[in-house]
Amino acid sequence: MPEGFLFANSIHAPMTTENDLTARERVSSDVQSEVASPHGRFYVFEGIDGAGKSTVAGKVFEILKAGTDREIVLTSEPSDSWLGDCVRRSHREGVSTISEALLFVADRAHHTERIRKWLEDGMIVLSDRYYASTLAYQGAALKPLLGGMAVPWLKSINEPAIIRPDMTFLLLIPPETGMKRLSERNERTKFEKLGFLREVDKIYRDLAEEDETFVVIDASRSIEEVTGTIVEAMKGNI
């Protein structure tokens, strides 16, 4: 996939002239040309519930903070803005799967503007979840309604709302392990169903195959091993 293009089956057609592009394509390519700030670095942590990504992201943050004098931001989605509160409220109160997907993307569009600013200021940004969470979770949730169109639709609405991460670390564990870890922690999410988590896991794996910025991590190992592998991978990129 050429540099700066987010999705393999995205709407962008590289050989067309400016006149051939629709308004939507122009907006999309403008957004894409802003990606990969020359100063900052943007790393994302993804995985199913129970994969340990929040713990790992926190540890990577501490290690980087101790090892560099660059400024590091650890952020997450749903975000801590009022749009993130809307997402959490919709989770609690229940809205349609379409509304939920749109709320996640609205929160992300706002969050992306903050991330863009941090990157322009030369910071290293770590995000616990980003657009792949919507493709995987809402892709699975919308499958009964939209079938094979669910993920392509989610890709198209995310496209103008995101910045391409330098690396997306996909923490993989068997969905059964994720369920077990959640029940041990007494943690419940509305997505905590084995069949559903299997579907989410499958979409994540498909995304990793088609996107070269994904780094697949075996998260069934100890936190120290997982964290060490990620920091090592970042070293060649920072």
Give me the residues that bind ligand TMP (CB under 6 A), please: 49, 77-78, 104, 129, 133-134, 137-138, 189, 191
- Dihedral through CA 95, CA 101, CA 107, CA 111, nearest 10? 160
Shortest distance, position 42 Cβ to ligand TMP, whole Å: 15
Of 210, 205, 207, 176, the C-alpha closest to 193 is: 176
End-to-end CA distance of the chain: 22
Over its C-alpha atoms, the chain yields an Rg (Å, rounded) of 18
Taking the least distance from each CB to ligand TMP, the nearer of 77 and 159 is 77
Task: With beta carbons less than 8 A apart as the criterion, state whether 216 and 230 touch.
Answer: no
Shortest distance, position 133 Cβ to ligand TMP, whole Å: 4
Taking the least distance from each CB to ligand TMP, the nearer of 29 and 129 is 129
Shortest distance, position 68 Cβ to ligand TMP, whole Å: 25
Where does 138-237 have alpha helices with state H? 139-146, 150-158, 175-184, 194-210, 223-235
Shortest distance, position 226 Cβ to ligand TMP, whole Å: 16
Taking the least distance from each CB to ligand TMP, the nearer of 29 and 208 is 208
Taking the least distance from each CB to ligand TMP, the nearer of 32 and 134 is 134
Shortest distance, position 137 Cβ to ligand TMP, whole Å: 3
**112 exposed, middle or buried (CB, 10 Å; 0-12, 13-18, 19+)?**
buried
Euclidean distance between CA atoms 39 and 18, whole angstroms: 29
Shortest distance, position 147 Cβ to ligand TMP, whole Å: 19
Structure tokens at 169: 């670390």
Task: With beta carbons less than 8 A apart as the criterion, state whether 111 and 119 touch.
Answer: no
Taking the least distance from each CB to ligand TMP, the nearer of 118 and 204 is 204
C-alpha dihedral sign at 176, 136, 182, 145: negative
Taking the least distance from each CB to ligand TMP, the nearer of 104 and 214 is 104
